[in-house]
Amino acid sequence: MSGFSSEERAAPFTLEYRVFLKNEKGQYISPFHDVPIYADKDVFHMVVEVPRWSNAKMEIATKDPLNPIKQDVKKGKLRYVANLFPYKGYIWNYGAIPQTWEDPGHSDKHTGCCGDNDPIDVCEIGSKVCARGEIIRVKVLGILAMIDEGETDWKVIAINVDDPDAANYKDISDVERLKPGYLEATVDWFRRYKVPDGKPENEFAFNAEFKGKDFAVDIIKSTHDYWKALVTKKTDGKGISCMNTTVSESPFKCDPDAAKAIVDALPPPCESACSLPTDVDKWFHQQKN
């Protein structure tokens, strides 16, 4: 058990919907700033934003106090990813490594592009479908360098350490060997997922080849350094909320009561009436239309 829990506010698939994170004491915290990057030696924490096979584009709200998870909005409408043939929604558990930040003011030496202003993304390839807001421990296996509309957008490939097959995965070559076609499908998905919305295909550095574990860990460590500069006000966050409850050297640190006041001002916790509709696909298409 991670000791973390989550609390939904308002109904899913609405503009008001939020998922707040709590620590082991039941106090509200930021999944961006307060969850430690490391869960153990060579093991990272991952914040699950999007469960595998789902379509709603959920993400850590970097500009909101306490950075709850919410559904992305474009031109006033909630965002969903299309079912790209032959896939259904996201093909992994998708989320981010906390206490990382891809600095939009830094041009990456590998891609020649600046960061996308978000925590670094993770695709978790284990067998379990995780829950939105769940904090899991992952073993990093490799990384893909995507370029999204001119911005560097690294995609870490990892596996839940509690997965029954986790011991068999030590590097990206093990994914190629044990899950043939999965990495190719990952590139295909990221290349085409915005096309149904009228956008061009995404591009990749390194000819869309995955880099291995050591390279990936070095990239993650560099984004952790950029996050440290962000949360200690050594760099301009350009609107990012750095409110946190645990980072002692941060001028944005607040006490638990101040964090609670932020959440108390929102709609009440989501009860059973806020549960996911039974026919998810039918509901999804109604929203799209």
Using CA atoms, how far apart are residues 203 and 207, in angstroms rounded to an integer?
9
Q: What six digits make up the tokens of 22? A: 């709590």
Domain ranges of the chain: 5-279
pLDDT value, residue 269: 81
Predicted local distance difference test score (pLDDT) of residue 2: 72
pLDDT band at 268 (very low <50, low <70, confident <90, very high): confident
Task: With a cut of 60, say whether residue 23 has pLDDT above it.
Answer: yes
Q: Which two tokens stand for residue 24?
A: 């082991």
pLDDT over 90 (residue 109): yes
User: Token pair for residue 108?
Assistant: 């990456």
Q: Tell me what pLDDT residue 277 has.
A: 46
> At 86, is the secondary structure helix, strand, or coil?
coil
The confidence score (pLDDT) of residue 96 equals 98
What digits encode the pLDDT tens for the residues 119-143? 999 999 999 999 999 999 999 999 9
Residue 280 has pLDDT above 60, yes or no: no
> Does the pLDDT of residue 279 top 50, yes or no?
no
Buried b (16+ CB within 10 A) or exposed e, 144-155: bbbbbeebbbbb
Which homologous superfamily does the CATH classification assign to the domain defined by 5-279?
Answer: Inorganic pyrophosphatase (3.90.80.10)
Strand, coil or helix: 174: helix
With 70 as the cut, is the pLDDT of residue 229 above it?
A: yes
Give 2 or 185, the one with higher predicted confidence.
185
The predicted pLDDT at position 244 comes to 98
Query: Residue 45 pLDDT > 80, yes or no?
Result: yes
Q: Grade residue 271 by pLDDT with cuts at 50, 70 and 90.
A: low
pLDDT over threshold 90, residue 238: no
User: For 212-221, how does the pLDDT look when each residue is reduced to its tens digit (9 = 90+)?
Assistant: 999 999 999 9
Query: By the 8 A CB rule, do 9 and 2 touch?
Result: no
Q: What is the pLDDT of residue 274?
A: 53
158, 44 in Cβ contact below 8 A?
yes
Alpha carbons 62 and 110: distance in angstroms, whole number: 25
pLDDT-above-90 percentage for the chain: 90
